[in-house]
Amino acid sequence: MFPPETVFLVVDDMPTMRELVKAQLNSLGYFEILEAEDGEKALNKFLEAQNGAKPVGVIISDWNMPHVSGLDFLKQIRGNPQFQNIPFILLTSESEKEQVTEAVINGVSQYIVKPFQPKTLEEKLRFVWLKHSKKPK
């Protein structure tokens, strides 16, 4: 699993959902958590953190948000070769095959359909850690 000092970026336009994800991360032993309410602000926080002492290690982002969607945020992250191996989990109420396929094509690490159980987040994080720990950094 990810080391306890891993910095997470949680992105969702609903404060209650950000709080829920943060609480679940806290219960798993993760306390280094940045937040943003849309993809535009998330990209700024992500880039700022990557240039600082504590870079983001995992992104958990909602899909449907104002300004810049989670999918567009994913595309921006994956568009930079330096960030190809950053674990990126999309949270969404979208479960249509076309949306899942589009996310996979754009390099999403994992996909969680809302609402979800705390165990689901833990399982997806474990899967993403295994997936990304096997790739060269």
Between CA 57 and CA 6 the distance in angstroms is: 6
Extract the tokens encoding 95: 């479960």
Q: Using alpha carbons, select from 118, 110, 75 the residue that is nearest to residue 91.
A: 110
Q: How confident is the model at residue 136 (pLDDT cuts 50, 70, 90)?
A: low
Instruction: Give the per-residue pLDDT at 47.
Output: 97
Average pLDDT, the chain: 94
Contacts with 103 (C-beta within 8 Å, 6 or more apart), sequence order: 63, 71, 74, 90, 111
pLDDT digit string, tens, across residues 96-121 = 788 889 999 999 999 998 889 999 99
Provide the CATH number for the domain formed by 7-133 in this structure: 3.40.50.2300
Quick one: pLDDT at residue 134? 80
Break the chain into its structural domains and give their ranges.
7-133
Under the banding of pLDDT at 50, 70 and 90, the label for residue 93 is confident
- The separation between the first and the last C-alpha atoms of the chain, rounded to the nearest angstrom, is 16
Q: For residue range 34-69, what is the model confidence (pLDDT) as tens digits?
A: 999 999 999 999 999 999 999 999 999 999 999 999
Asked whether the predicted pLDDT for residue 137 surpasses 50, the reply is: no
Cβ atoms of residues 32 and 6 within 8 Å: yes
Global pTM value:
0.96
Q: What is the pLDDT of residue 96?
A: 77
